[in-house]
Structure 1
Amino acid sequence: MMLSKRFTRSILSILLCGAAAVAGSASAKQFKYAIGFPPGSYNVVMAEDYAKRVKTYTQGRHTVRVFPMTLLNMAETSAGVRDGIADIGFLLTPYFPAEYPHANLVNEASMMLRLMGDEVRGKEASAFVGALTEFTFFNCVECHQEFAKQNSVYTGHVGGSSYGLICNKPVKNEADLKGKRLRAGAANWSRWSTAVGASPITMSANEMREALSQGVVDCIILSTPEIHNFGLMDAITDITMAVPGGIFSTAGFNMNTSAWRSLSVDDRKAFLRAAAEGGAYTPWIYQQKENEILAEAKKKGVRLHDADPALVKKTQAFIEQDMGTISKYFADKHGVKRGEQMITTFRPILQKWVKLVQPVSSQEQLGQLYWNEIYSKVDVTKHGMQTAP
């Protein structure tokens, strides 16, 4: 039977509208990204950069909505991603030592950077984030099993600059540290605090400002850009950056397993590329902002101190000793069986990354390096697709 031209055009219009609706629904799929930092902080800017790249690399099929401090705080992120409250979470694994012991072991070896000479100075974040991400993707089956048990998929680390003492009173030598209460965000800094006669205090980063202001803690072991991120400038009077060293790294884009598996192979690659390039913002900007924040603090009357040489020497001795005992600590505390092997495997990877980041002069270069050397080599047909043990 012949169809009229008007009827044919109507049918064609309906079909085109239907196709457009399907395409529109695909492009409108939105992933919720929970991050426990406040709006305007460097890591929230990083998250927004990542979100833009997701949209670009998925050609608009997917978008990411960033929720700074509203959807989940830092202490809620692991369970929130596990339960699907967020699709992506900025996961501070050291906050959850029982859930992520293997992921934390190498992370907490970051003070190893102090043993690598002057070449790494000012590039600690770029080198350590690259090394830790490479190690976790390709050398830590147990890490992926830990994430899988929490119904999540690892998609890369981010991390900041070197840690020092951010205080509300002068702390320059070991005598000053005796009995001081130091907020420590991971077990390595807790062990150092004990070694120098201080008392380590555990609390969420979201509680730091109030704790400093009220004298609940005397110092926070922290990088200087976090002074900006958490609005600490008015709560501090003294800074000593020569000790203890090390950096804090975060599984910055942990994805809910169902969210990851809902992606096509091409879109999984796109999310990883966004993580490589967008995630490079955090180590890059932290390195750039270290001295700027110190200069701002000095202008506002904060006293900047050099650490006593004896304290620096004692810290160096602690780090050398701690690299030998960290595996035993994790074996005793968390049942990690191959900690010594993990540290031995990680050290040359870190040494390689210290060399790789030397010529890097921008976030884009760093992101491209991360993509070329690590993320592009992940087999997304298998990664995150195995059943949790």
Structure 2
Amino acid sequence: MLARKFVYAAAGAAMLTAAGAAQAETLKLAVGFPTGSAAVYALENFAKNVEATSDLKVKVFSLSLLNLKETPPGIRDGIADMGFVLPPYYPAEFAETNLAANLSMLATTGEQIESPGTAMGAAMTEYVFLHCPDCLAEHKKQNQVYLGTGTSPTYILHCTTPIRTMEDLKGKKYRSGAANFGRWAEAVGGTKVSVPGNDIYEAMAQGVVDCGMFSATELTNLQLFDVTKFITTKIPGGVFAGVATNNINRDVWADLTPAQREAIFKASARSSADVTWKYYADAKRNLNDAPGKGIEIIEPTAEMVKMSEDFVKSDLAVISKQFTDDYGLSNVDAKIAKISELVDKYKKLTAGMADDPEALAKLYWDEIMSKVDLSTYGMD
């Protein structure tokens, strides 16, 4: 049981009741995706796992309590106890974490694996937990405790017009959910457009964007089957790694018992694995279903694929300069080298885990999260 009951003011700021008040037992978890989405699936499983191993209960609010943009400040201010956080929506506040997320295109270059998201998610999680105290510090500044990262499958083009050649890429308006994808759009002669995930459907329907860069999972997550007419696979490549699967409010975390924190931490290893697996499984299914829904699947030319790979290599220097000059990060090149090393490490360790979330969760625990000292983590 929690030691104090959480009371939420109408304005949204959370306050703890005075000592001796009745105990609360249910945590509010906000997910800015609709019911049936991969994120909600994973976090509903998280709730079940927490309830099975502790005296806590978790209520998942899908697209009702907070949307994707509102979730980080909503957790910070106590409107929700936990939530599905997308750090790229707040580039300055989560600059250290976003540096690693900006390197997600490394997952689909070099050694090729079936599910690049499995490698990138594990690499992000190890980096933030074990190698990036500055990442943890920026989560602390937002009154949150980081609990792991799940990632998407490969990013591809979902368009209202066909993209078959290098020439077709020029002049298009591309929805970008992270800075590296926006730079790719500009590199191919297009225009990047920043649109929150919850607004992609309307942006495509109204012609605000010609193509969205995201995984095929979003065809069902965000109901984009209706507005997508053409899919070009393999490009831009990369995955979306700017995810903190179920961050928790620091005051809530501190108020838990050691046993409750352990239950949440172990369930978080599985939730990050579940997010990654479910995104991958849904993407495969959606691509299989797309032709039957009137969507043409286009394979890019060899020239287009090479262009994307060349972009990733050249973009490393851009990322280094941007995060050094614009965000004031230190030792950026060393951090990039470490993240690159971790991506390569987990490409090997996650081999064969594309369809095995249980094995992936065990990897998260054995290689990463079991090494975190829960007696002090998030408590200072």
The TM-score, its normalising length taken from structure 2, stands at 0.91
* Deviations, residues 300-327 of structure 1 (Å, cap 9, x unaligned): 1211111122222111111011123311
Q: What amino acid sits opposite 1:41 in the alignment?
A: S
2:31 is aligned with 1:35: yes
CA shift, 1:155, in A, is: 0.8
Provide the C-alpha distance between the structure 1 equivalents of 2:327 and 2:371, rounded to a whole number of angstroms: 31
CA shift, 1:329, in A, is: 1.3
Provide the C-alpha distance between the structure 2 equivalents of 1:248 and 1:340, rounded to a whole number of angstroms: 21
Match of 1:375 among 343, 359, 369: 369
2:225 is aligned with 1:229: no
**Which position in structure 2 is the counterpart of 1:99?**
93
**Which position in structure 2 is the counterpart of 1:62?**
56
Q: What amino acid sits opposite 1:144 in the alignment?
A: L
CA shift, 1:340, in A, is: 0.9
2:326 is aligned with 1:333: yes
CA contact (8 A) 2:108 2:116 kept: no
Q: What amino acid sits opposite 2:52 in the alignment?
A: T
**Which position in structure 1 is the counterpart of 2:186?**
194
Q: What amino acid sits opposite 2:289 in the alignment?
A: E
Match of 1:247 among 228, 234, 239: 239
Provide the C-alpha distance between the structure 2 equivalents of 1:213 and 1:252, rounded to a whole number of angstroms: 29
Provide the C-alpha distance between the structure 2 equivalents of 1:141 and 1:314, rounded to a whole number of angstroms: 35
SS in 1 for 2:378: coil
**Which position in structure 2 is the counterpart of 1:82?**
76
Q: How does 1:148-167 map to 2 (within 5 A)?
A: 148-167=140-159
**Which position in structure 2 is the counterpart of 1:145?**
137
Structure 2: gaps spanning 5 or more residues:
1-21
CA contact (8 A) 2:82 2:249 kept: yes
Q: What amino acid sits opposite 2:76 in the alignment?
A: R
**Structure (1 or 2) with the greater helix fraction:** 1
CA shift, 1:179, in A, is: 1.4
* Deviations, residues 330-357 of structure 1 (Å, cap 9, x unaligned): 1122111221111111122211111111
**Which position in structure 1 is the counterpart of 2:281?**
288
Provide the C-alpha distance between the structure 1 equivalents of 2:278 and 2:28, rounded to a whole number of angstroms: 24
Structure 1: gaps spanning 5 or more residues:
1-24
Provide the C-alpha distance between the structure 1 equivalents of 2:78 and 2:362, rounded to a whole number of angstroms: 31
CA shift, 1:113, in A, is: 1.6
Q: What amino acid sits opposite 1:34 in the alignment?
A: A
Q: What is the Cα-based RMSD across aligned positions, in Å?
A: 1.3
CA contact (8 A) 2:145 2:250 kept: yes
SS in 1 for 2:84: strand
* Deviations, residues 149-207 of structure 1 (Å, cap 9, x unaligned): 11111111111101010011101222112111000000000011111100000011000
The TM-score, its normalising length taken from structure 1, stands at 0.89
2:300 is aligned with 1:307: yes
SS in 2 for 1:242: strand
SS in 2 for 1:201: strand
Match of 2:165 among 163, 173, 178: 173
Provide the C-alpha distance between the structure 2 equivalents of 1:172 and 1:273, rounded to a whole number of angstroms: 45
2:201 is aligned with 1:209: yes
* Deviations, residues 31-66 of structure 1 (Å, cap 9, x unaligned): 1101100111111011100000111121xx111110
Match of 2:258 among 258, 265, 276: 265
**Which position in structure 2 is the counterpart of 1:12?**
none
SS in 2 for 1:159: coil
Q: What amino acid sits opposite 1:134 in the alignment?
A: E
Query: Number of residues paired by the alignment?
Result: 357
CA contact (8 A) 1:53 1:278 kept: no
Provide the C-alpha distance between the structure 1 equivalents of 2:217 and 2:280, rounded to a whole number of angstroms: 9
CA contact (8 A) 1:327 1:338 kept: no
CA contact (8 A) 1:168 1:219 kept: yes
CA contact (8 A) 2:154 2:234 kept: no
CA shift, 1:290, in A, is: 2.5
2:347 is aligned with 1:354: yes
**Which position in structure 1 is the counterpart of 2:9?**
none
Provide the C-alpha distance between the structure 1 equivalents of 2:165 and 2:131, rounded to a whole number of angstroms: 39
* Deviations, residues 10-48 of structure 1 (Å, cap 9, x unaligned): xxxxxxxxxxxxxxx76x611110110011111101110
Match of 1:323 among 316, 320, 324: 316
SS in 2 for 1:75: coil
